[in-house]
Amino acid sequence: MIRGVRGAITVDCNTEEAITSATEELLKQMIEENTIHPEQVASVFISTTEDLNAVFPARALRKFAGWTYVPVMCMRELPVPNSLQMCVRIMLHVNTAVPQEEIVHVYLGGATVLRPDLGNTLAK
């Protein structure tokens, strides 16, 4: 079964270093909390708000051993009025037998406001 593992993080400024560092932090937490191995991953979608354009955030994933051949696509988030800005969102599509309610979705920094109903399941 393929499950979606969601995550989001806010970035302090629109620089290559800030975007890459934040994306790496988020990916690391998502991977660790869900014990994900690259061979389980069908694909990864990464979106950014339109104010983040200094680098493709997918570069951060290439720093992880074994993730070279995982398909990744970067895209722009819809510019909805009054929505959270300076935000990177990630959706990992993972082959797993873990039940939907046991998937750990990770929201860091200012992105914790995006899904308060999940209670930031990282805190389990």
CATH assignment at residue 65: 3.30.1330.40
What is the structure's pLDDT at 117? 80
- Asked if 52 and 86 touch (Cβ cutoff 8 Å), the reply is yes
Residues 6+ apart with CB under 8 A from 49: 76, 77, 79, 83, 84, 85, 86, 87
Catalytic residue list contains 16: no
* pTM, full prediction: 0.93
Catalytic residue list contains 3: no
The one-digit pLDDT tens for each residue of the chain (124 residues) are 999 999 999 999 999 999 999 999 999 999 999 999 999 999 999 999 999 999 999 999 989 999 999 999 999 999 999 999 999 999 999 999 999 999 999 999 999 999 888 755 544 4
Report how far apart, in Å, the C-alpha atoms of 29 and of each of 9, 78, 80, 106 are: 11, 25, 27, 7
Residue among 25, 33, 59, 74 flagged as catalytic:
74
Report how far apart, in Å, the C-alpha atoms of 12 and of each of 8, 82, 114 are: 14, 18, 17
Residue among 3, 33, 59, 115 flagged as catalytic:
115
Q: Which domain holds residue 32?
A: 2-123
Provide the CB-side half-sphere exposure for 95 (13 A, CA): 8
Token pair for residue 74?
Answer: 């970067």
Catalytic residue list contains 115: yes
Catalytic residue list contains 89: yes
What is the structure's pLDDT at 118? 72
Residue among 6, 24, 32, 69 flagged as catalytic:
6
At 67, is the secondary structure helix, strand, or coil?
A: coil
Residue among 13, 16, 50, 62 flagged as catalytic:
62
Q: Domains in the chain: how many in total?
A: 1
What is the structure's pLDDT at 119? 53
What is the structure's pLDDT at 14? 98
Nearest to 13 by CA among 39, 46, 47, 51: 51
> How many angstroms separate the most distant Cα atoms in the chain?
39
What is the structure's pLDDT at 120? 52
Catalytic residue list contains 101: no
What is the structure's pLDDT at 45? 98
